[in-house]
Amino acid sequence: MNAVDSVQQVNRDILLQKHLEDAIEEHRRAGSPVRVIDTPDDLTREEKAVLYDKVCMRVKGRPGKSNPYKTMEVICHVPRDTHEGTEIPPLPEPGRGRGSAKPADAEDDAAGL
């Protein structure tokens, strides 16, 4: 590593430290560092994720419950012609779907079917 690379790395470390201090201050003031972390354009998504984790550890003493910079947004593109002619399944009847108190077959058994 030459002198120029060394100076650039030191400047980068100073900038990251400044971002960390600003994000900690914002978290203490507003309850979330996201606004300050989103502002700089010089950070990659991975650097923002690391910064978010560091802020949570410094402010709360534990990792954050969810790091918005670690979630990946998945955009699914389905061409129009691939879903034409397919039917959408009907919604389950109330009391017969997920989370109902008794199984769907219990009513049939009670009726003698």
pLDDT tens, residue by residue, 46-79: 999 999 999 999 999 988 888 999 875 444 444 4
Task: Look at residue 85 and tell me if it is in a domain.
Answer: no
pLDDT interval class at 80 (50, 70, 90): very low
Q: How many domains does the chain have?
A: 1
At 46, which helix (H) or strand (E)? helix 45-60
Task: Look at residue 54 and tell me if it is in a domain.
Answer: yes
Task: Look at residue 32 and tell me if it is in a domain.
Answer: yes
Task: Look at residue 10 and tell me if it is in a domain.
Answer: yes
- Residue 79's SS3 state is coil
pLDDT tens across 11-57, in order?
Answer: 999 999 999 999 999 999 999 999 999 988 889 999 999 999 999 99
Task: Look at residue 73 and tell me if it is in a domain.
Answer: no
Query: Cα(first)–Cα(last) distance of the chain, in Å?
Result: 81
Task: Look at residue 101 and tell me if it is in a domain.
Answer: no
Task: Look at residue 16 and tell me if it is in a domain.
Answer: yes
Name which of 45, 92, 96, 94 is nearest 71 in CA terms. 45
> Which residue range(s) make up the domain with 46?
3-60
Task: Look at residue 70 and tell me if it is in a domain.
Answer: no
Predicted TM-score (pTM) of the model is: 0.59
Residue 36 to residue 28: CA distance in whole angstroms: 12
CB 33 within 8 A of CB 26: yes
